[in-house]
């Protein structure tokens, strides 16, 4: 019985450590944490920072035509005034953010 309680306690502790990291890996969460300050919650680039940096709207037809690979490269390497996120986000997080941007475009 003590062994079972010990295993449950270990599982609960492990879940408390893993859950926040897993929750942050979603495209929406990463977007809100890293992108929304400039690009806006809706992707229109209409925040004060976005206007100052001339962040394009994700609904702009020219941005909609950009391939996923080009968006991934822009996030990874940076583009114009946007910083590179290659050392701040994993490849999976970057792909998830691009998928979220695509959802915002609809």
User: Which residue, among 75, 62, 47, has the nearest Cα to 105 in the 3D structure?
Assistant: 62
User: Which residue, among 97, 75, 72, has the nearest Cα to 85 in the 3D structure?
Assistant: 75
Specify the pLDDT at position 11. Answer: 40
- Which tens digit of pLDDT belongs to each residue from 43-100? 999 999 999 999 999 999 999 999 999 999 999 999 999 999 999 999 999 999 999 9
Domains of the chain (ranges, CATH numbers): 26-104 (1.10.760.10)
Q: Which residues contact 101 (CB under 8 A, 6 or more apart)?
A: 27, 31, 43, 58, 71
């Amino acid at each position: 019985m003590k062994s079972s309680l010990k295993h449950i306690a270990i599982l609960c502790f492990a879940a408390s450590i893993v859950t926040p990291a897993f929750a942050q890996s979603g495209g929406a969460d990463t977007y809100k944490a890293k992108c929304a300050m400039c690009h806006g919650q809706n992707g229109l680039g209409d925040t004060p920072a976005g206007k100052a940096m001339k962040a394009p709207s994700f609904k702009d037809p020219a941005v909609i035509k950009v391939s996923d690979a080009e968006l991934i490269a822009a996030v990874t390497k940076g583009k114009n005034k946007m910083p590179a996120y290659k050392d701040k986000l994993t490849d999976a997080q970057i792909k998830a953010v691009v998928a979220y941007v695509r959802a915002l475009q609809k």
